[in-house]
A and B are shown apart, each in its own frame.
Chain A
Amino acid sequence: MTTQQPPRSTGDPELLALVAAVAADHTPGLHPIDLVVAARYGFTTDQAHSILDAPHLLSRLTRYWQNHSPTEAIIQIAQSGDATGKAHLELLQRTGHIIHVRSRSQHALAASTAGLPEILTDDHSDEAGTVVVRRIFHDQGVLDIAIESAHIEAEGTFPVIALLSLGENQPAATRLLFLLIPAGPGVPAASHAESRLHIDPALTSDKLFVYNTPIEASELTGTNLAAVRNSVAAAKLAWKDAWRRAALATPDGHPLRDAVISGLSAQA
Chain B
Amino acid sequence: MIDFEGDSFHTHEQAVALIATFYKASYRKLLGLVRKRFRSLEAEDMVEELFVKILAQVDESADDPGALGSLMEKWITPAYVFSSLIYLCLDAVGSGPARWEDATDPQDGAEAAGGEDLGVDPANIDRLGNLLESEPPGLYPRTPDQVAAHLDTLRSRQAVNAILQTLLERGRRGGGHRTHITERQLDIFAALYKSSRPTSEDSTELTDDQLHKLTLGVDKRARARWRDMGGYSDPESGNQSAAAAELGVSRQAVSKSLKAVAAALTITRYIAGVLAPPGNLLNPSAIHAHLDQFDQLRQQPDGAAHHAVLTAAAPAVRTTVDRGTRVERALLVNPEHGPCNEQVEAVHAAETHVARLTGTSHPNCVNACECHTRQLNRAIEI
A-side residues, CB < 8 A to B, are 1-4, 6-12, 15-34, 36-37, 40-41, 44, 46, 50, 53-59, 64, 68
Contacts and interface: CB of A to CB of B under 8 A. Distances in A.
B228 A25 contact: no
Contact of A57 (B190, B229, B316, B382): B229
B23 A18 contact: no
B292 to A, nearest CB: 14
Contacts of B48: 32, 36, 64
Contact of A19 (B189, B230, B231): B189
Given A11-B266, A28-B168, A54 B161 contact: no
B329 interface: no
A18 B16 contact: no
Given A1-B319, A28-B168, A20 B193 contact: yes
Nearest to A60: B44
Nearest to B158: A22
Interface string B110-125: 0000000000000000
Contact of B258 (A7, A10, A44, A53): A10
A11 B232 CA distance: 34
A13 to B, nearest CB: 9
B55 interface: yes
A56 B266 contact: no
Query: Mostly helix, strand, loop or mixed at chain B's interface?
Result: helix
A34 B24 contact: yes
B229 A54 contact: yes
A54 B23 CA distance: 24
Given A11-B263, A37-B20, A22 B161 contact: yes
Closest A-B pairs by Cβ, 8 of them: A56-B230, A11-B262, A20-B193, A55-B230, A7-B315, A29-B165, A46-B169, A28-B164
B333 to A, nearest CB: 10
Contacts of B337: none
Contacts of B99: none
Contacts of A16: 189, 193, 261-262, 265
Given A16-B193, A27-B168, A10 B259 contact: yes
Task: Indicate the member of A3, A9, A34, A55 with the most B CB atoms within 10 Å.
Answer: A9
Contacts of B197: 17, 20
Contacts of B16: 37, 41
A20 B160 CA distance: 10
Contact of B55 (A11, A12, A19, A37): A37
A27 B225 contact: yes
Interface of B: 16-17, 20, 23-24, 27-28, 44, 48, 51-52, 55, 156-157, 160-165, 168-169, 172-173, 183, 186, 189-190, 192-194, 197-198, 201, 203, 225, 227-232, 234, 258-259, 261-263, 265-266, 269, 284-285, 315-320, 328, 331, 379, 382
Contact of A15 (B44, B234, B269, B379): B269
A22 B315 contact: no
A23 B189 contact: yes
Nearest to B170: A46
A9 B261 CA distance: 11
Contacts of B231: 55-56
Nearest to B229: A54
A198 to B, nearest CB: 40
A210 to B, nearest CB: 26
B165 A11 contact: no
Contact of B160 (A8, A18, A36): A18
Given A20-B193, A22-B164, A33-B20, A27 B228 contact: yes
Given A15-B265, A37-B20, A28 B161 contact: yes
B269 A7 contact: no
Contact of B230 (A2, A40, A59): A59
Nearest to A6: B331
Nearest to B28: A25
B232 A22 contact: no
Contacts of A37: 16-17, 20, 55
A26 B165 CA distance: 11
A50 B203 CA distance: 32
A31 B31 CA distance: 14
B46 to A, nearest CB: 12
Given A27-B228, A36-B52, A22 B168 contact: no
A199 B198 CA distance: 71
Contacts of A32: 27, 44, 48
